[in-house]
Structure 1
Amino acid sequence: MVQFIQAQNIGLDYLEERFGLQLAEDETFFLEWLESLPEITDLEKQYLDIVKTNFLRLVKRPPILENTVKMVVVSPLLDLAGFYREPFFITTEESIELALEDEEEIVRERIDVLIIQEQLWLLVIESKRASFSLLEAIPQALGYMLANPNPEKPVFGCVTSGEDFQFIKLINQDKPEYALSDKFTLSRRGNELHQVLSILKKLSQVLS
């Protein structure tokens, strides 16, 4: 009998055991978040400062749910990065199933935000409530990314709680490998949404 598992309930151990997922050892595996990042304008910085202020104001009155994080923080970032325009297409709550041949377990869930270009999965966004740890969200996002119907192409992910952000790259060819960016957070001085937007802009350039 087939057993259905919610993606939010899987961990890295499960993905490593069932799908052979490995953390990439090559330091050059995921340079897209680190090198040749585009500049963002003063106007974009000012807007992101407002986004940060809006989010921190909401934090004073918890709980902040996933939909609020998407509306207040994620949506402005995707807009500024150009993902609402051609050649990209955004879909939300996309259903996925992930299974191995001859296995009686299927991972099933809905992706928060999926960015597509002509049926090619490009970027998976997984948002969580503000009190959620990214360490718990990363396996869930990787499970989605492993379900990419175009495994010959790299797919990128971003997990966020509104306060914290972390990027993921997955290549699923001979064996699935992934790497993580540093974590960016709004709890530090300054506004690390600036860096997050710069990375998203870089990904939009790489993927378009």
Structure 2
Amino acid sequence: MAQVIQASELTLHDVKEKFNLQRVEDEQFFPEWQNDLPQATDAEKQWLDRVKANFLYLAEYPMHEEIVKMVVLSPLLSLANFYSYPFRPVAEKPVEIVFEDEAETLRGRIDVLVLHQTLWITVIEAKRKQLNVLEGIPQALFYMMNRPTIREPLFGFITNGSEFVYLKLMQQDSPRYGLSRLFSLINPGNDLYTVLGVLKRLGEVVNSTKR
């Protein structure tokens, strides 16, 4: 009988070993989070300032993962137009990968999965605010490796409500991934302006490659 391993138990080393993944440090591998970012409008900045203020207030108390989704993720996805055609968010999607030669089955659950038609576009792994956002990278990479195609890049977005990081995965030739810098609501100003810009930019990139 195959051994069942929960995705939440995976370390980054586990995922890299299972899929022969390599991290790319070259900034040119992941220019999408840096170049040609749409600028937030004054109205969007006002809304994002409210999102930050609401989160920092609620962060003074115990906060469940579902609250993080409502307070932070939902406004970001709405402003980035991920609730509109051609995107369609699907929540709590089960994922399973079977490694027959090792008699192992890896299982996981995607908290929020944004789809473009039948292709995975952005995987969002919401973590409770008490956890470092980097702890979600192994699970996000695991989910992203279960994509239905290997021809186009896949982008991931991980947040614990106060921290945000983006992923890019390429599977052509050999699996490779890159990371954006870490954005945080603890930083001066409001990093959500750039977080939203990256989301919008990724939406544009995905739309242009699927036409």
CA change 1:172–1:17 in 2 (3 A) is same
8 Å contact 1:98–1:146 — kept in the other structure?
no
- Aligned equivalent of 1:11: 11
CA distance in 2, matches of 1:162, 1:134: 9
- Structure 1 position 34 matched with structure 2 position 34: yes
Q: Secondary structure at the match of 1:83?
A: coil
The offset of 1:46, in angstroms, is 0.1
Q: Secondary structure at the match of 1:32?
A: helix
Which 4+ stretches in 1 moved above 3 angstroms?
none
- Aligned equivalent of 2:162: 163
Counterpart of 2:12 in structure 1: which amino acid? L
Counterpart of 2:8 in structure 1: which amino acid? Q
Q: TM-score, normalised by structure 2?
A: 0.95
- Aligned equivalent of 2:99: 100
Counterpart of 1:68 in structure 2: which amino acid? I
- Aligned equivalent of 2:185: 186
Q: Secondary structure at the match of 1:148?
A: coil
8 Å contact 1:88–1:115 — kept in the other structure?
yes
- Aligned equivalent of 2:56: 56
The offset of 1:135, in angstroms, is 2.1
- Structure 1 position 84 matched with structure 2 position 118: no
- Aligned equivalent of 2:199: 200
The offset of 1:26, in angstroms, is 3.5
The offset of 1:101, in angstroms, is 4.2
Note the alpha carbon deviations across 1:118-160, whole angstroms, 9 max, x for none: 1011110001111111221111111111111112221110110
Counterpart of 2:163 in structure 1: which amino acid? D
The offset of 1:99, in angstroms, is 2.9
Unmatched segments (≥5 aa) in structure 2: none
1:101-140 paired onto structure 2 within 5 Å: 101-140=100-139
The offset of 1:166, in angstroms, is 0.3
Counterpart of 1:33 in structure 2: which amino acid? W
The structure with the greater share of residues assigned to helix is 2
Report the RMSD for the aligned CA atoms in angstroms: 1.0
CA distance in 2, matches of 1:13, 1:101: 20
Unmatched segments (≥5 aa) in structure 1: none
- Aligned equivalent of 1:142: 141
CA distance in 2, matches of 1:170, 1:143: 11
Note the alpha carbon deviations across 1:156-177, whole angstroms, 9 max, x for none: 1011010000000001122110
- Aligned equivalent of 2:23: 23
The offset of 1:25, in angstroms, is 4.1
